[in-house]
């Protein structure tokens, strides 16, 4: 430790000691104890300290103390490096310990108290504690250039260049993700390996504060069967970045779209190169993989849109794989600097006079508040009905947890403040998303897992002040986001999961005297509707959001529209196609909430044909509407076009060959009008912070603020039940059951009439028992007064009487003599004085008919007469 550092530290601690003892003399002394120990207060929930905690020696009861001295050192420093505070000679024995850079960087420390008792006895107390003041981790750089200096069939020798960080203590070697050994040198031999097996190795630097490096330098090695028969590892360069500089003058960050590239080679061939990104302090499992990698000769690259990464440091990882399955990894840390540090500004929008009469649902990404977006200042809740907060996650125990325990609580509190001003706003916690859909499969799999998940979701909702739950599972059956996988059982489990959630939400709602919302966001395809049994599942939902965007994007080979409203005569899939797929699947129109994007995609096209539309590209990225407006692209080389076939705009810069698909105020208004024309349930937005001064939200609001007039009448279906005799004829009686549906305002009443008489209100099934023909007309009327054109059904009732039997016999094609004989049998039965005698005569008549030959009666008439005689026998009984 440098002498100047120790002197400055002691001076600062001495001053701190004087202040603390002075202040504590007037406060309560530390409590005595049976044994002595070191108390540190306050301590955070994670066991760490920040700022200037108070460190106190709590002494055993009855002790007489001469003095107590406080010392501290970094965890991995030798004891000789303990630095001491000024000793204290009277109780309470407390010191301020001012943590934080530069004197006490984040990390693990050992605190020590030297207690000298009046009798001359000395007691030493120690305690380990973690100091944590910064949001980003204090981690040393990993050693670079991990390579093999030797490889046999059973061992490898790893070597690396030293870490460039100061205060390095040692290096930690990991094999297959498990800590294997520590060393203070820059090489290590691993023995006991198996020929033909793959092994991954990684070396981390560890500093005196016990912090380990988090950037990567791992390799994956194939062990040879014979010594000398080795396949060299692939070679990969450090990651290069090209893009716009950050907005902070003199800073070294990046803003907007950044091109990341590496040079990768191999003695045979490079099989692939993969790129990943995560926030610097996030756990390893948070790495997000770039969907595609471009290759040009030995250069591999991806486009990184930094607007989707929170402000601060992010870590990029690139892995080169050779044809044998071996790999080498490199990482680099980059500063994201998209947002100006120059103070806040007042909002440029005015609140609406009244909330919209139709649903306008906006997603708000929690990470947006790491930038310039301020919820209380910038969220225009006056033009929203619902807000979905994105996202909560499902942990491996199937419980719903925060995705960002640092920022989420602040955002939840800000939303509560907004709701005080706009009490009409309903806030909903969205669970999942592309990056957070892992563990949905497991949550939905069994009755027990659904119970655990549903209870946790409801608890999370209530605890954090939300009004409902939104499931963003991307995607059931097929898989999609990180941690998901294809699973056919999802099709049956999806509606069961919703049913359980609905049950638990309703139970909580009864306790709280409110209705809690349940919604989903689904992919805009018939496949998603089928994979989730959406016609069945929708019954558990308050409304269904369809993600009618990302219809085309940077993962494809041609530049195309993000969210075309129409298909342009079959040239593209479209928003309209997605809507029709959901309606066909059985989602009621008034439940269907159509997604609209507040962002677009930017493509570096390789051809100027068709103004870049549907042309190949060699670079791409997302772009927000806010960025398009703030950068004033229309005054900086871009020309706006409007595609009449798809009803969306696009921008093109011919000089730079850049095509941008996006939505603006005109296209958003057209989509809102589509919602109104098709009497849908409203609009859903991804994502609110991407708007510019709430321009797009205002455009949506202006079209949807007034109620959508219901011009579509209800539809009524009739079910006729009874014992059928012939088409439209029933034996003895018929029951008519009516059922009406209306997609928007709801059914006001259903009514019917008989034989064009007076219209009567329908409440119970209609019973028709009058012999002969009856005409039933029926219709429904909705709450907007739309009257359905009536439908009719003619029903003939055949009473089981001798009179009707004589009529059937009379109309039958029977030989004259046989008919006369049959009528005689029937007259005898009708005139019989007892039921037994009547039954006997009817049985004889029935047998007489059965014995008739085809020469005397047609087969159809024979069967019909037999059936009716049997009916009279049955009814007589």
Task: Convert the pLDDT of each residue in 621-656 to its tens digit.
Answer: 789 999 899 889 999 999 999 999 999 999 999 999
Res 26: pLDDT: 27
pLDDT tier for residue 29 given thresholds of 50, 70 and 90: very low
As a whole number of angstroms, the distance between CA 272 and CA 298 comes to: 11
Buried (b) or exposed (e) across 306-328, using 16+ Cβ within 10 A? bbbbbbebbbbbbbbbbebebbb
Of 599, 600, 618, nearest to 558 by C-alpha is: 618
DSSP state letter for 60? B
pLDDT exceeds cutoff 80 at 861: yes
Nearest to 137 by CA among 242, 207, 67: 207
Q: 454 and 554: one domain?
A: yes
Tokens of residue 717, six digits: 């279906």
- How far, rounded to the nearest angstrom, does the alpha carbon of residue 230 sit from its chain's CA centroid? 45
Is residue 472, in this structure, part of any structural domain at all? yes
- Which CATH number is 509's domain given? 3.20.20.80
861 occurs within a structural domain: yes
Q: 727: pLDDT confidence band, cut at 50, 70 and 90?
A: low
Q: Which residues contact 489 (CB under 8 A, 6 or more apart)?
A: 445
Q: What percent of the chain has pLDDT over 90?
A: 63
DSSP 77: S
**Residues 112 and 193 grouped into a single domain:** no
Mean pLDDT of 90-98: 83
d(CA 248, CA 246): 6
* Domain end call among 131, 156, 186: 131
- Is 94 a domain residue? yes
List the domain range (segments joined by +) for residue 118: 3-131
For 676-723, write each residue's pLDDT tens digit. 999 999 999 999 999 998 999 999 999 999 998 888 899 999 999 988
Indicate if 532 and 513 belong to the same structural domain: yes
> pLDDT by residue (tens digit) across 264-298?
999 999 999 999 999 988 888 888 899 889 999 99
Q: Within this chain, do residues 191 and 309 fall inside the same structural domain, yes or no?
A: yes
Same domain, 786 and 675: no
Is the domain of 155 the same as that of 121? no
* Position 605 in a domain: no
The answer to whether residue 7 scores a pLDDT higher than 60 is no
Name, in order, each residue with C-beta under 8 angstroms of 503's C-beta and a sequence gap of 6 or more. 454
Same domain membership, residue 301 and residue 188: yes
Q: Does some domain include residue 585?
A: yes
The strand ranges marked E within 14-106 are 37-41, 48-49, 54-58, 65-74, 83-84, 94-96
- The pLDDT, as a whole number, for residue 199 is 96
User: Whose CA is closest to 796, among 781, 809, 787, 807?
Assistant: 807
Q: Mean pLDDT over residues 56-61, rounded?
A: 87
At 92, is the pLDDT very low, low, confident or very high (cuts 50, 70, 90)?
Answer: confident
Are residues 686 and 540 part of one domain? yes
CATH number, domain of 200, equals 2.60.40.10
Q: Does the active-site annotation cover 108?
A: no
Would you place residue 5 in the very low, low, confident or very high pLDDT band (cuts 50, 70, 90)?
Answer: very low
Contact in structure between 661 and 572 (CB atoms under 8 Å): no
Residues 47 and 155 in one domain: no
Q: Select from 798, 821, 850 the last residue of a domain.
A: 798
- Which position has the higher pLDDT, 545 or 18? 545
pTM for the whole thing?
Answer: 0.57
212 and 111 part of one domain: no
DSSP structure string for 90-123: SSS-EEE---BTTTB-SEEEEEEEEEEETTS-EE
547 and 500 co-located in one domain: yes
Q: What is the pLDDT of residues 237-267, one digit of tens each?
A: 999 999 888 876 656 788 888 999 999 999 9
From the list 236, 221, 230, 206, the residue with the least C-alpha distance to 158 is: 221
Any domain includes 871:
yes
Of 771, 836, 768, which Cα lies nearest the Cα of 805?
771
How many structural domains are present in the chain?
5
Half-sphere exposure of 268 (CA within 13 A, CB side): 12
- Which of 108, 474, 687, 788 is catalytic? The answer is 474
Q: 559 and 510: one domain?
A: yes
pLDDT digits over 581-593, tens only?
A: 999 999 999 999 9
H helix runs in 171-212, sequence order:
none
Residue 345, domain member (yes or no): no
Determine contact, residues 704/358, Cβ cutoff 8 Å: yes
Within a domain: 266: yes
């Amino acid at each position: 430790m440098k002498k100047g550092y120790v002197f400055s530290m002691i001076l600062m601690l001495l001053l701190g000691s004087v202040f603390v003892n002075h202040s504590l003399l007037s406060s309560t002394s530390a409590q005595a104890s049976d044994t002595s120990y070191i108390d540190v207060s306050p301590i955070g929930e994670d066991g760490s300290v920040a700022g200037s905690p108070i460190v106190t020696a709590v002494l055993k009861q009855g002790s007489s103390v001469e003095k107590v001295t406080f010392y501290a050192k970094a965890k991995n420093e030798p004891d000789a490096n303990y630095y001491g505070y000024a000793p204290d000679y009277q109780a309470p024995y407390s010191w301020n310990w001012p943590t934080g850079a530069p004197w006490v960087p984040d990390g693990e420390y050992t605190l020590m108290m030297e207690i000298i008792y009046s009798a001359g006895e000395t007691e030493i107390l120690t305690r380990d504690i973690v100091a944590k003041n910064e949001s980003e981790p204090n981690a040393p750089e990993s050693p670079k250039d991990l390579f093999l200096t030797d490889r046999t069939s059973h061992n490898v020798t790893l070597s690396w260049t030293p870490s460039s960080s100061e205060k390095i203590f040692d290096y930690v070697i990991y094999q297959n993700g498990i800590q294997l050994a520590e060393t203070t040198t820059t090489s290590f031999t691993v023995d006991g390996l198996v020929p033909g097996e793959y092994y991954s190795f990684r070396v981390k630097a560890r500093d005196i504060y016990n912090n380990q490096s988090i950037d990567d330098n791992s390799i994956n090695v194939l062990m040879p069967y014979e010594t000398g028969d080795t396949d060299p590892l692939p070679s990969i360069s450090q990651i290069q970045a090209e893009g716009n500089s950050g907005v902070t003058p003199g800073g070294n960050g990046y803003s907007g779209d950044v091109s990341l590239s590496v040079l990768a080679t191999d003695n045979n061939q490079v099989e692939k190169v993969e790129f990943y990104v995560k926030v610097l302090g996030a756990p390893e499992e948070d790495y997000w993989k770039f969907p595609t990698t471009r290759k040009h000769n030995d250069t591999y690259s991806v486009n990184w849109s930094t607007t989707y990464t929170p402000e601060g440091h992010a870590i990029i990882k690139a892995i080169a794989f050779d044809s044998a399955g071996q790999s080498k990894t490199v990482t680099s840390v980059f500063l994201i600097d998209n947002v100006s540090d120059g103070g806040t500004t007042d909002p440029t929008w005015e609140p609406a006079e009244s909330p919209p009469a139709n649903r306008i649902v906006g997603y708000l990404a929690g990470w947006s508040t790491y930038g310039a977006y301020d919820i209380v200042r910038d969220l225009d809740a006056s033009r929203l009905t619902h807000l979905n907060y994105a996202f909560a996650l499902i942990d491996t125990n199937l419980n719903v947890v925060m995705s960002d325990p640092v920022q989420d609580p602040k955002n939840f509190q800000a939303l509560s403040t907004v709701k005080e001003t706009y009490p009409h706003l309903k806030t909903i916690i969205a669970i999942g998303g592309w990056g957070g859909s892992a563990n949905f499969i497991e949550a939905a799999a069994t009755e027990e897992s659904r119970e655990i998940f549903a209870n946790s979701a409801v608890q999370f909702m209530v605890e954090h002040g939300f009004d409902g739950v939104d499931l963003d599972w991307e995607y059931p059956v097929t898989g999609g986001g990180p941690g998901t996988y294809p699973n056919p059982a999802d099709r049956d489990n999806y509606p069961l999961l919703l049913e359980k959630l609905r049950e638990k939400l309703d139970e909580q709602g009864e306790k709280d005297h409110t209705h809690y919302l349940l919604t989903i966001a689904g992919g805009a395809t018939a496949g998603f509707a089928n994979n989730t049994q959406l016609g069945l599942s929708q019954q558990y939902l308050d409304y269904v959001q369809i993600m009618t965007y990302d219809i085309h994007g940077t993962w494809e080979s041609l530049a195309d529209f993000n969210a075309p409203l129409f298909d342009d005569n079959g040239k593209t899939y479209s928003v309209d196609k997605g809507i029709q797929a959901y309606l066909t699947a059985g989602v009621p129109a008034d439940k269907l909430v159509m997604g609209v994007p507040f962002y677009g995609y930017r493509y570096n096209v390789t051809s100027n044909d068709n103004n870049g539309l549907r042309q190949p590209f060699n670079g791409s990225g997302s772009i927000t509407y806010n960025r398009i407006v703030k950068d004033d692209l229309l005054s900086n080389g871009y020309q706006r076009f409007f595609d009449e076939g798809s009803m969306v705009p696009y921008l093109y810069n011919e000089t730079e060959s850049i095509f941008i698909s996006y939505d603006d105020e005109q296209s958003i208004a057209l989509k809102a009008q589509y919602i109104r024309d098709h009497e849908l349930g409203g609009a859903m937005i991804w994502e609110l912070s991407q708007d510019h001064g709430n321009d797009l939200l205002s455009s949506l609001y202006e079209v949807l603020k007034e109620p959508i007039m219901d011009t579509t009448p209800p539809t009524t279906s009739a079910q006729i039940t009874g014992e059928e005799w012939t088409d439209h004829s029933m034996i003895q009686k018929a029951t008519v059951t009516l059922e009406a549906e209306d997609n928007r305002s709801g059914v006001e009443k259903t009514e019917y009439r008989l034989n064009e008489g007076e219209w009567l209100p329908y409440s119970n099934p209609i019973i028709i028992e009058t012999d002969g023909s009856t005409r039933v007309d029926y219709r429904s009327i909705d709450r907007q007064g739309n009257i359905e054109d009536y439908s009719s059904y003619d029903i003939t009732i055949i009473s089981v009487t001798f009179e009707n039997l004589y009529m059937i016999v009379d109309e039958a094609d029977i030989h004259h003599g046989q008919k006369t004989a049959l009528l005689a049998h029937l007259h005898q039965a009708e005139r019989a004085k007892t039921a037994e005698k009547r039954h006997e005569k009817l049985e004889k008549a029935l047998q007489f008919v059965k014995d008739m030959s085809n020469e005397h009666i047609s087969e159809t008439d024979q069967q019909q007469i037999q059936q009716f005689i049997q009916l009279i026998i049955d009814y007589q009984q």
